[in-house]
Structure 1
Amino acid sequence: MIPTPSTSHLSADDFESVYEPAEDTFVLLDALEQDSDLLKSSRVCLEIGSGSGCVSAFLGAICGPSSALYLCTDLNPHAARCTALTGQSNSVPLNPVLTDLTGALLPRLKHAVDCLVFNPPYVETDDDEAFQAQEDGVIERAWAGGVGGMRVTNRLLDQVETLLSPRGVFYLVAVPENKPLQILDEMRARGLHGEITLKRRAGREHLHILRFSRPEHPRITAAAAGP
């Protein structure tokens, strides 16, 4: 079992403005760990909305701290600082980038990302609440997802096919309000194969981890075909 990265260097004050690792984080880590053999050869890893940096540090434990480039984007400068500190504390060279989703990285990362990860603001709210949270920079922006909880997620879904390398894999956290099966259908229309790789109930939330890849991905295609 791969240990959860330490975030003990972060304080309660940090978590006033940066999302603290919680059950959705840990379900995502479990999904990444069960795919560790698939991910070990990744050379470019990109986490959208890295927050504390816990997820990217975990990817570093899977892929090797010196074997991949670890890019971590966030709009929140406090999150960028926390991500950098978490990388240092866990001996993984995380590279935080202050940007909206992938704004500062395209087109340089076109078809270059081997592992793309997003734990979005998925809680269903009205759009005004989600927009205001983003504008005000308050902690609610980490979870307020607008109508259907998809206000931010839909923007990234438009970019996934452009980002993924031929062997690239995209992991997305979702809940039933986000309509995971509809997401799978929409991404299939964009030319990507998708499936739900893990489900877990956490309190009132029923968490889903969705995994996407190109249909010709050799390892996933072989696994789906079976013996």
Structure 2
Amino acid sequence: MIPTPNLSHLTRKDYEHVYEPAEDTFLLLDALEADKDFLRRRNPRICLEIGSGSGCVSAFLGAVVGQNNSLYCCTDINPHASLATQATGQQNNANDHRRYRCLGLVDILIFNPPYVPTEVEEFTLGQQQVDISGAWAGGNDGMNVTEHLLRQVKALLSPSGCFYLVAVSQNKPVEIMQRMEQEYGLLSKTVLSRRAGREHLHVLRFQVQE
């Protein structure tokens, strides 16, 4: 069993501005561990996490696939989250997190989006304030941010790339999978599903057809 990354450097004050790992985070970690053989066979060179928050997921991915030949890139609109991600990388001996032009180069792409359905006004405010509310307020059907990324996934992935997406049932994950296959030719599967309180969480995996 791969241990959860050490986040002892983050304080309660940090979590006032940065999304604290919760059920969706741990489901994603479990999905990556369940897929470890699949991921290791791909021998990834570039791994990209969008919306990295605390940096927990990328640090865990580094433990899953190793760091000798892999570069881990993270991005988040929240500057507090960017600093937390950098600190987590240092705490867990992960490679430096840098920004690169990644079109057609990403071997593993990960996104745990703001997926909670909310009023558009709440979603817009969360994105404008670039603070913690932007980590969960998803607008119509919880899909406002996710829709933007889905249109770019195929262009980002390398010829052997794969993409992990966290979704809740209100996001209509089956429809997402069907659309990504029909419009972009990406194969898809549900890696893990779990109920957490009132939410039914899913981790979806998409990959370029080989």
TM over 0.5: yes
- Work out which of the residue numbers 40, 49, 52 in structure 2 matches 1:50: 52
Question: How far apart are 1:29 and its partner, in Å?
Answer: 0.4
- Alpha-carbon contact 1:43-1:68 (below 8 Å) kept: yes
What is the aligned-residue RMSD (CA, Å)?
A: 1.1
Specify the SS of the correspondent of 2:97.
strand
**Other-structure match for 2:198:** 204
**Other-structure match for 1:63:** 65
What letter matches 1:176 in structure 2? S
Structure 2 unaligned blocks of 5 or more: none
Question: How far apart are 1:140 and its partner, in Å?
Answer: 1.1
How far, CA to CA, are the matches of 2:11 and 2:36 in structure 1? 30
1:151 aligns with 2:144: yes
How far, CA to CA, are the matches of 1:38 and 1:46 in structure 2? 17
Question: How far apart are 1:56 and its partner, in Å?
Answer: 0.2
Specify the SS of the correspondent of 1:25.
helix
Identity %: 58
- Which of 1 and 2 has higher RCO (CA within 8 Å, sep 6+)? 2
How far, CA to CA, are the matches of 1:72 and 1:137 in structure 2? 16
**Other-structure match for 2:179:** 186
Question: How far apart are 1:96 and its partner, in Å?
Answer: 5.1
Summarize deviations over 1:48-84 as a string: whole Å, max 9, x none: 0000000000011012123200000111111111101
Specify the SS of the correspondent of 1:206.
strand
How far, CA to CA, are the matches of 1:129 and 1:161 in structure 2? 29
Which residues of 2 match residues 112-191 of structure 1 at below 5 A? 112-188=105-181, 189-191=183-185
Ranges of 4+ aligned residues in structure 1 off by more than 4 Å: none
Structure 1 unaligned blocks of 5 or more: 98-104, 217-227
Specify the SS of the correspondent of 1:207.
strand
Question: How far apart are 1:174 and its partner, in Å?
Answer: 0.2
- Identify the range of structure 1 (36-45 vs 154-163) with the bigger mean alpha-carbon deviation: 36-45
- Alpha-carbon contact 1:6-1:90 (below 8 Å) kept: yes
Report the TM-score when normalising by structure 1.
Answer: 0.88
What letter matches 1:155 in structure 2? H
